[in-house]
Structure 1
């Protein structure tokens, strides 16, 4: 059984209780034989709420001499620990959305549990450090916003909805968003017709079209929108046709995805 040992760490709210120093057993999702031993040092308190305390520290892996920056989410100091909630979140990271780690969600190094003397089971979820909520998340650029939508799409494409998608749950790591806090994630099937990332599509230097208008049968109408550029809009036809074909190709690709796997935003 894999285990985790924590180094010294500050306690929240001037609490007299300290984190356990004994080895914590890993919550195992299947029958895989896991014997690794993990150690986290240099723990620093970064957030503390009624039910959850969050630390940042350096994780030493059994097969890697270089320490990895991680975040430890725990209910150790909560009045009522929530083992089932943490187990559900670990299942989301390691079972249902495992292929999205380092892509849309942080890498998960495991959920470790502590059996206290009072019979309470405290949880320690260890995730890769993907930064903090930043001004880019609160006031997103178009590029960052598009990447957030991509991340949400990946989760929906896997058949789940987040359940609490707020700004505090979107982190920024070198310009890439990562979605956290999967406590309330649940299976979800969208039933709409088409996936749309951005409602408006800009043809650089010419016009910003509504995506819903970018269809092969609308070519004359689309060119008529460019009369502010020239009386002879036919010279723009190749550019507009190229843009239309790009959008139509995305539609064709999306229609081939099984309905139960689709994420859609209505036009």
Structure 2
């Protein structure tokens, strides 16, 4: 029989959760017939965050001689079965789901996950490499045949520059429609998957929709194309009665944008295709 001991008196600053956690041994909940004699303990518990249904506490886990992984009943299938190969790569390591039967008959469940850092903050601080890692993490989950279902900043943790996805309460089976890799900085396009579009928006993967001609005008990126010069210059009539004086500057801007487009168009096909590892 596996058990878990908790340190006493964990208090929620918001007053939304029970002010103390049980300090007796908790019995582990198993999804199958597996049963092992393992004893875990957690000390230094602190309130981390909460939503309307669950609370998260952080603490130091003392490991037994062996390790195992399991989670809340629906999430258990995700971590333990469907996404098991992604543990310690793009999702946390899970040490088990433990349950406590209170005297009032209510059952409290405690999910123990490996520490994977803190929720991401301002995406404007992300490097292109980190953005790519977040996108890849979601890709891998989709490769496994599931969509996360609640992809948001508070469900993406950052640990030493590596993203970890958590909270699979609303995860569902999914056949991803994405066929090409998303490259950071390319223009917005339809990916064939709603969640991947959301992921791209979260990390601000797309190039800016607007491009400035410094001190003169801000153009829509989509309009900055060769052969579109007359249309672009027409927007500058309010700046000068003869907008052709700006032609060299607009042409330079167009060439910069078109060069970036061509860079993405010339990416080899084998690099564009998404092939799960």
The TM-score normalised by the length of structure 2 is: 0.64
Q: Quick check: 1:250 aligned with 2:271? A: yes
Match of 2:90 in 1: 104
Separation in 2 of the partners of 1:25 and 1:183? 22
Query: Which structure has greater strand proportion?
Result: 1
1:148, distance to aligned residue in structure 2 (A): 0.1
From 87, 94, 109, the equivalent of 2:80 is 94
Q: Check if 1:209 corresponds to 2:252.
A: no
Cα distance between partner residues in 1 of 2:59 and 2:274: 43
Residue 106 of structure 2 is aligned to residue 120 of structure 1: yes
2:156 to 135, 157, 170: 170
> Kindly tell me: are residues 105 and 166 of structure 1, through their superposed partners in 2, closer, same or farther at Cα, counting changes over 3 Å?
same
Partner Cα distance (2:124, 2:3) in 1: 37
**1:28 equivalent in structure 2:** 30
Cα distance, 1:8 vs structure 2 = 1.4
Q: How do 1:12-161 and structure 2 match up within 5 A?
A: 12=12, 13=15, 17-63=19-65, 86-135=72-121, 137=123, 139-161=125-147
Q: How many residues align?
A: 199
Q: Write the deviation string for residues 164-201 of structure 1: whole angstroms up to 9, x where unpaired.
A: 00011111100000111111111101245434344639
Query: Which consecutive residues of structure 2, in runs of 5 or more, have no partner in the other structure?
Result: 188-257
| Aligned partners of 1:137 and 1:170 also within 8 Å | no
Q: Which has the larger radius of gyration?
A: 2
1:196 maps to what in 2?
182
Higher relative contact order (CA 8 A, sep 6+): 1
- SS of equivalent residue, structure 1 residue 153: helix
Offset at residue 93 of structure 1 (A): 1.3
Distance 1:250 1:10, change over 3 A: same
Rounded to whole Å, the distance in 2 between the matches of 1:118 and 1:22 is 16
The equivalent of 2:4 in structure 1 is 4
CA contact (8 A) 2:121 2:153 kept: no
**Which whole-Å CA distance do the structure 2 matches of 1:46 and 1:212 have between them?**
42
CA separation of 1:48 and 1:138: change in aligned 2, threshold 3 A? farther
TM-score, normalised via structure 1 length: 0.66
- Alignment root-mean-square deviation, CA: 2.7
Distance 2:133 2:18 in 1: 42
Deviations 1:223-257 (A, max 9, x none): xxxxxxxxxxxxxxxxxxxxxxx622235674xxx
Aligned with 1:200: secondary structure?
Answer: coil
